[in-house]
Structure 1
Amino acid sequence: MIAVNPGTQPLAYPCQDLLVPTDGSRGSELAVSEGVALANATGATLHILHVVETGSPGPDARSLLKEEELTNRADEIIADAIETAEAAVVNSIASKIEFGVPSKEIRNYIDTNEIDFAILGTHGKTDFSRYRMGGVSAKIVRTSPVPVMWVREPESSGG
């Protein structure tokens, strides 16, 4: 599905700079795959972004250890996405790890890097962390200055 907010620049095709924010989830992996396919089809630069959420309330004795774990995980997430893109022979890949509020950092990245299209993975609401990321996706879809495509893992038909 693609969302275009009122007042947004019209969808430019082919896009030149394509953003895929990733958190390492299955939904994000699907978004990376879609981003790779679109970058290959259009020759766009594929921008891969991971945001380490910061700003926990109050000091925490475990903060430094937690920050190191989060940074290591961020490095793994970005490396996996780059590996996917390189395996598909994407010509131009840019990657970045940011720290802050995910929706704000994604919006800042869009503005700063002249992104003209974004692809987001969304999740089911089966647990709190997936619900929360869905909230980030919803904020981006509602406020994005560029068209946003979101992808979701198909629900299983088993039951």
Structure 2
Amino acid sequence: MYQRILVPIDGSPTSLQGLAEAIRLARLTGGQLRLLHMVDALSLTLGMGAYGAFSGDVYDALQKEGQKILQDGHQQALAEGIAADTAMEEGVRSRLADLVLEQVKKWPADLVVLGTHGRRGVGRMLLGSDAEQVVRTCPVPVLLVRGSDAVAPD
């Protein structure tokens, strides 16, 4: 049960809480992790809007930061005695869910563990929800870990 656990991480406190939960689960099941990070040039370009094309230096910095995020997560898993590898995807993508779906099939994963901000209302409507997209498209179970900054229930 849950021998291959895919964990998308972006370095945010919420994604790191997801990683911590994935490590605990892998310890219980004897599973292994694949840590996944996405460097998305399309989002960066669209975010800059009228400021024009972004510098290659900015993209290089994003790649280096992505490698550091993966390295730190990998070290955290190893320190807990959990086997882990990493994957960084670079290029033009608009949705994390597409990358997760691709990795689930390619690796293949038994479970996806994903930190979520737990936004509701206007915040969710304006920002969208990567977690929701993953849940809707993923062919394997998805464990959503609400961050400590998540909105408290009404």
Same fold (TM over 0.5): yes
Instruction: Show the 5 A alignment for 1:68-79.
Output: 68-79=60-71
Structure 1 residues 88-107: aligned runs within 5 Å:
88-90=80-82, 92-99=83-90, 100-101=93-94, 102-107=96-101
Please name the residue that 2:115 is paired with: 121
Quote the Cα distance in structure 1 between the aligned partners of 2:151 and 2:38: 29
Counterpart position of 1:86:
78
- Structure 1 runs, 4 residues or longer, greater than 4 Å off: 57-61
- Quick one: higher RCO (CA 8 Å, sep 6+), 1 or 2? 1
Offset of residue 63 of structure 1: 3.1
Normalized per residue, which structure has more helix?
A: 2
Q: Residue 96 of structure 1: SS of its match in structure 2?
A: strand
Please name the residue that 1:41 is paired with: 28
Alignment of 1:7-26 (within 5 A): 14-26=1-13
Aligned sequence identity (%): 30
Question: Which secondary structure does the structure 1 equivalent of 2:129 belong to?
Answer: helix
Return the TM-score normalized by structure 1. Answer: 0.78
Q: Which residue of 2 aligns with 1:11?
A: none
Q: TM-score, normalised by structure 2?
A: 0.80
Aligned to 2:146: 152
Q: What letter is aligned with 1:85?
A: A
Q: Give the C-alpha shift of residue 72 in structure 1.
A: 1.0
Whether the aligned pair in 1 keeps the contact of 2:4 and 2:109 (CA below 8 Å) is: yes
SS in 1 for 2:81: coil
Alignment length, in residue pairs?
141
**Shift, 1:79, TM fit:** 1.3
Give the whole-Å Cα distance in 2 for the aligned partners of 1:115 and 1:124. Answer: 24
Q: Structure 2 vs 1, CA of residues 15 and 124 (structure 1 numbering), >3 Å: closer, same or farther?
A: closer
**1:61: how far off?**
4.3
Q: Distance in 2 between matches of 1:124 and 1:63?
A: 33
Shift of residue 118, structure 1, vs aligned partner: 0.6
Q: Structure 2: any 5+ residue segments left out of the alignment?
A: none
